[in-house]
Amino acid sequence: MTEVLFKVIIIGDPTVGKTSFVQKYVNDSYRRDYKMTIGVDFALKVIKWSDKCNIKLQLWDIAGQERFTSMTRVYYKDAHACLVMFDLTQKNTFQNSVKWKKDLDQKCTLVDGSPVPCLLLANKCDDMEHREVSQDEIEELCREHDFLGWSETSVKDGIMIEESMGFLIEEMMAKHAELEGFSESFQANAANHVKLGRDDAVAHSGSKCSC
């Protein structure tokens, strides 16, 4: 059995839902009272990709407080992909997404020198009453700052958690196959998995949350 290890970092301002996202994805659990992350927390999830391959996801939940940003270069090291998360009900966290993306691009690249694939997640789409960021604004920011794509999510209601991570895994596997020169048979197997395109749930054109 082949095992592929991927490191995924989750970054963004404090209290936008990063820890809740990780716990929902890994343990299918949600609480309102998570303690604020100090430095970095880790989680692991193993996914069966095929009969011959497992994917081991190492998730790094990185604290968003300013005092920890001096350590981000260490935390970003060897990352294969990134999630930048913001809170739809706090516009400043959306604006700060640009800062997080630039910080990542300045401090980390893939082994071939290309940028780390980065997905933008707009959390708390269940709270439409207090929404402060439009989909057009998200789309424009994604285009201007070369995000892989974006999606609205609700960690509380479990909306677009699995789909967002599935999209990111597909991208990592495609890059892994390119870098490692996997056999044609393995790439054919990858092609059989669901690929989220431009008009699907997570794409450069965005997604509409079914809240």
Q: Which domains does the chain have, with CATH numbers?
A: 2-191 (3.40.50.300)
At residue 37, the pLDDT reads: 58
Residue 188: burial class (beta carbons within 10 Å; 0-12, 13-18, 19+)? exposed
Contact 54, 4 (CB under 8 A): yes
Task: Tell the burial category of 15 from Cβ atoms under 10 Å away from its Cβ (0-12, 13-18, 19+).
Answer: middle
Q: Which of 126, 127, 128, 108 lies closest to 118, judged by CA? A: 108
On whether the CB atoms of residues 121 and 97 are closer than 8 A, the answer is no
Q: Name the token pair of 19.
A: 């820890």
Closest by CA position to 59, among listed 138, 169, 141: 169
Q: CB–CB of 94/16 below 8 Å?
A: no
Q: Please determine, for residue 163, whether its predicted confidence score (pLDDT) is greater than 60.
A: yes
Question: Which pTM value belongs to this model?
Answer: 0.81
140-152: buried (b, 16+ CB within 10 Å) or exposed (e) per residue?
A: ebbeeeebbbbbb
pLDDT band at residue 131 under the 50/70/90 scheme: very high
| 164-210 per-position pLDDT tens digit | 999 999 999 999 888 776 445 445 555 554 444 334 445 443 443 33
